[in-house]
Structure 1
Amino acid sequence: MSTPVVSRPQVWMGAGCVVLALLMMWGAQFISSEAGYGGVGPNFLPWAVAAGLLVCGGLLLWQALHGGYQHMPEPPEAPADWHATAWVSAGVIANALLLTTLGFTLSCALCFVLAVRGLRLSEGKAAGGLRQTLTDVVTGLLIAAPVYWLFSKLLSINLPGLTQTGWL
C-alpha cells in the first residue's frame, strides 16, 4: 500500500481555515449573548460561521493529508492580477476604517464601488468612467440602505449610522 501524496499548499489551506475558525471562536466569546429578537443573540452568527469554517477546514485538512483534493482541475496559468486585488482590498479596508465615521450605509456603498471596480479590472474590462462610477454608487446605496434599515429597525441591531435618525 502506497503512502498518499501530501500537498503542502493544500495542508496550509486546511490548517489556515482551522486556525481562522478558532480565532473567530475566540473573538465570538467576547460578543454579548443576550437574546434579542427571536431568542437569538448577536453572538449567534459569529459562532455559526466559525463552526461551519471549522468543519470545512477540518475536511480540507483531512483530504489534503489523505491524497489531496480529489478530482480538482489544474489551475490556469494566468498571473495574479494585483491591480484588481488592490482595488477590492481597498474597498474592504476602507469599509473597516470608515464604518464608524461615515456610517454603515455610506461605508458599505464605498466598499461596493471599489470592489466592483476591481472585479471589472480582473475580467479585463474598463474600470469605469464617471457615469459607471455614479451607477455603482447608486447601486451600492440601494443595496446597503435596505440592509441597514433591516438590521437597525427590524432586528434592533445597532449599526453605526451617519445621523441619529436611524435612516442613514
Structure 2
Amino acid sequence: MSTIPPNSPPDALPQTLIGAGAVLVAAVLAYGALSIPSSAGYAGVGPNFLPWLVSAAMLVCGVWLIWEARSGGFRDLETASGAATGDWTALAWVSAGVLGNAALITRIGFVLSCALCFVLAVRGLRISEGRAAGSVRQTLIDAATGMLIAAPVFWMFSKVLAINLPGLTSSGWL
C-alpha cells in the first residue's frame, strides 16, 4: 500500500525522501545544539544561537521540500545532466583528496595537505568530465595552483585572524 496520492508524479517518493532526509539532518543538528551551553554572550546571544538557527532553517526547508513533493512534485525540474550511473573512479579520486587532507593536515601542514586535496579532487573532476586525468606537467600545475590558493588562506587565518592552523614549520608562514 503506497502513501503517495494517485495524482502524484512518479518521482514523488524519492522527492519526499529528500525532504525527510533534510528534516532528519535538522533533528540531528538540533540534538547537537542541545549540548552547547546557552549562557548569553554579547547582546544576549549565546554560542548555541547559530546552531539552533541553522537547524530551524533546515527544518523549514525539509518540511517545504516534503510539501512540494506531495503537492505535485518539484516544479520546473530540468532533465538531469550527466551519466545514468555514478563515476566511481572520479568519486574515488575526490574522496582520496578529502580523506588525505584530513589524515595529513597535522603531519604536513595546512598548505601542503590542501594542495594535495586540490590535486586529487581536480583529477577526479577531470575524469568525471571524460577528460584525461592529467600529465605530470598538469599535476605540477595543479599542485602549484593548490598551494597558491591554500597559502593565502593559511596566512589569513593564522596571521590576520590569529586562528591556529597546523603548519609545516614553526615559523607560521608554511
- TM-score bracket for the superposition, by shorter chain length: 0.7 to 0.9
Instruction: List alignment gaps of at least 5 residues for structure 1.
Output: 34-39
- C-alpha deviation, 1:32, in angstroms: 9.0
Q: Deviations 1:53-76 (Å, cap 9, x if unpaired)?
A: 444434323322322211102324
In 1, the alpha carbon distance for the partners of 2:141 and 2:25 equals 35
Cα contact 1:4–1:66 (8 A) shared by 2: no
- Aligned letter for 2:106? T
In 1, the alpha carbon distance for the partners of 2:148 and 2:37 equals 30
In 2, the alpha carbon distance for the partners of 1:161 and 1:41 equals 31
Secondary structure of the residue that 1:16 maps to in structure 2?
Answer: helix
- Residues 144 and 31 of structure 1: CA distance in aligned 2, closer, same or farther (over 3 Å): farther
Q: Write the mapping of 1:76-87 to structure 2, written as runs, cut at 5 A.
A: 76=81, 78=83, 79-87=85-93
TM-score for both structures, normalised by structure 1: 0.77
Quote the residue 2:65 is aligned against: 60
Q: How many residues matched?
A: 162
Quote the residue 1:152 is aligned against: 158
- Residues 164 and 53 of structure 1: CA distance in aligned 2, closer, same or farther (over 3 Å): farther
Q: Write the mapping of 1:2-151 to structure 2, written as runs, cut at 5 A.
A: 5=8, 7-27=12-32, 53-76=58-81, 78=83, 79-151=85-157
Cα contact 1:63–1:69 (8 A) shared by 2: yes
- Aligned letter for 1:151? F
- Aligned letter for 2:75? Q
- Residues 141 and 55 of structure 1: CA distance in aligned 2, closer, same or farther (over 3 Å): farther
In 2, the alpha carbon distance for the partners of 1:29 and 1:159 equals 28
TM-score for both structures, normalised by structure 2: 0.75
Matched, 1:166 2:166: no
In 1, the alpha carbon distance for the partners of 2:49 and 2:140 equals 36
Secondary structure of the residue that 1:19 maps to in structure 2?
Answer: helix
Q: Deviations 1:93-113 (Å, cap 9, x if unpaired)?
A: 111222222222111111111
- C-alpha deviation, 1:52, in angstroms: 5.0
Instruction: List alignment gaps of at least 5 residues for structure 2.
Output: 39-44
Q: Deviations 1:80-100 (Å, cap 9, x if unpaired)?
A: 211111111111111122222
> Percent identity over the alignment?
60
Cα contact 1:87–1:115 (8 A) shared by 2: yes
Quote the residue 1:36 is aligned against: none
- Residues 154 and 44 of structure 1: CA distance in aligned 2, closer, same or farther (over 3 Å): farther
